[in-house]
Amino acid sequence: MRAFHLVVTTVLFTAACQTAQHEPPRPPARLAPEPAPPRPVAPVAPVTALPAPVDSDAPTPATALITLPILDAMFADPTFVGEIKPRLGLSDAQIEQMRVVARTATAGLQERGGGSTLAAARDADQQLAAILSAAQRDGLNRFIAEHWSRDEDGVVPPALALDELNGIPTDTRVVVNAPAYRMDIFRDGELLRTYRIGIGYPEFPLPTGVRTATSIIYNPSWTPPDEPWVKGKFTAGKRVAAGSELNPLGPIKIPIGMPSLIHGGKAASSLGGFDSHGCVGMTDRQVREFAGTLAEVSNTLISPEEAARYLANPRETRRVKLATAVPVELRYETIVVEDGKLFIYRDVYERETNTEAHVRAVLQANGVAFDRLSEHERLQISRALRRMGLDAAGKAPAAHPDDPDPSGSVTRTIKGAREMVINLAALKGRGYPAPLRLSKK
């Protein structure tokens, strides 16, 4: 297992998903002069889920995949150093070294294909180990994971379902499974809609864990950060107006804890692939529909007509506070029993989750013993695990050299198949629900 999950990214780090979090919140929209009392919302409840395999190498609830450009962005937060210095026992010299390393990594970024999460992790080990002790690196990892999980009001949501696989919600929540490029929205345990989404590049992976959505922001603006790569049509610190064709966030953004957003602005062709820096990417059409459903399940008093009026004035940013916060569960599940079939997804973030032990645990939780399968079925699974164990570049993790690639890169494409589906008669009627009213554009 890897010692820790700090990662030096080698990507062109755009701030569409980062600096958008720092936009000053506007007062909640006045939706009605005397709103009627909303109907009760079912309390957040644990999900029905499968036990995680003991050999899983996925991050625990207290850890996260962190990049140096993310660290660079966090240094822009005036509270960051004040919080982390006493908590980790850092000296002024260590703080300055971290700041320089993070800025240097960001300054050297460029776009190129074929990146590797493992190579980036090795690079991180080398650079941060020269500055921090093992205990301090672990503490940094845990602090940023906590910092990421805070909602707009600075509240960390309760850790629900973080260690569970294939969980079927019994409450109201949004579930995102990155390897499946899939987002579901549930109300009181009922699946309402499924969306095909874009996810973070391997060098800038979508985090895992439970976040909360507390507001919908219509017509968001975007301010490019003071970073070396900001050039061309953008100027650091110069706000890109709401409604501008240059604004990468589209018509709506939904903050789900730093550094992530659910937002529009994506092309339909990018769905089902890499197209963000730690965010859930949707088309403008998708995000409009999703925002309406999110308002509905949270008992927020906003009609489709009212939302349309907000969007009809794209130069005016409007923040609507949700009446009830909605959990957003970010998962990384490459092996899923779904509607009687075994889905094995590509391990694009190289977390070594496609193993026979993992398959055995998932099948056992669904009442099926791996050893009771036919020889042909076991062979199908073995072949699928090998193919889906490749990284986005089509390589086995062990094929990467020990020395990290020093050039900055961002992996924009996936070579080879992204999923394999195996029909197993013993799984009939079992597993996570199939996509419902799947939105692909």
Mean pLDDT of the region 271-277: 89
Unique residue bearing structure tokens 């975007």: 222
pLDDT in the model for residue 161: 54
Indicate the CATH number of 19-53+60-331 among 3.30.1490.20, 2.40.440.10, 3.90.76.10, 1.10.287.70: 2.40.440.10
Token reading at 396: 């086995």
pLDDT in the model for residue 64: 54
pLDDT in the model for residue 410: 54
What percent of the chain shows pLDDT beyond 70? Answer: 72
Q: What letter would DSSP give residue 423?
A: E
Report d(CA 100, CA 71) in Å as an integer.
Answer: 11
For CA atoms 141, 49, 326, 184, give the dihedral sign: positive
Q: What letter would DSSP give residue 95?
A: H
Report d(CA 46, CA 163) in Å as an integer.
Answer: 11
Position 2 pLDDT exceeds 90: no
Q: What letter would DSSP give residue 127?
A: H
Residues 6 or more apart whose CB falls under 8 angstroms from that of 293 comprise 185, 192, 193
Higher-confidence position of 263 and 46 = 263
Which helix (H) or strand (E) segment holds residue 101: the answer is helix 92-107
Position 406 pLDDT exceeds 90: no
- Which range, of 163-177, 288-302, 384-398, averages the lowest pLDDT? 384-398
Q: How many CB atoms lie within 10 A of CB 406?
A: 9
Q: What letter would DSSP give residue 23?
A: S
pLDDT in the model for residue 365: 85
- Which range, of 115-124, 179-188, 200-209, averages the lowest pLDDT? 115-124
Type of residue found at 41: V
Alpha helices in 338-417 (DSSP H): 356-365, 375-388
Q: What is the pLDDT of residues 275-307, one digit of tens each?
A: 887 899 999 999 999 999 999 999 999 999 999
Per-chain mean pLDDT for the chain:
79
CB 116 within 8 A of CB 124: no
Token reading at 14: 């755009």
Q: What residues form DSSP beta bridges with 39?
A: none
CB 93 within 8 A of CB 233: no
**Domain boundaries defined on the chain:** 19-53+60-331, 335-427
Reference 178, options 57, 55, 259, 274; nearest CA is 274
Q: What is the pLDDT of residues 423-432, one digit of tens each?
A: 999 999 999 9
pLDDT in the model for residue 141: 85
Reference 44, options 210, 222, 216; nearest CA is 210
ω before 259 within 30° of 0 (cis)?
yes
Q: What is the pLDDT of residues 21-66, one digit of tens each?
A: 444 444 433 333 333 333 333 343 444 433 333 333 333 334 556 6
Band of pLDDT at residue 355, cut at 50, 70 and 90? very high
pLDDT in the model for residue 176: 97
pLDDT in the model for residue 126: 80
Q: How many CB atoms lie within 10 A of CB 44?
A: 20
Mean pLDDT of the region 387-404: 70
Mean pLDDT of the region 415-434: 93
CB 159 within 8 A of CB 210: yes
Reference 68, options 89, 99, 91, 96; nearest CA is 99
Q: How many CB atoms lie within 10 A of CB 312?
A: 9
pLDDT in the model for residue 275: 87
For CA atoms 313, 316, 317, 321, give the dihedral sign: negative
Helices and strands of the chain, counted as H and E runs? 9, 15
Q: What letter would DSSP give residue 204?
A: S
Mean pLDDT of the region 120-139: 84
Q: What is the largest CA-CA distance in the chain?
A: 67
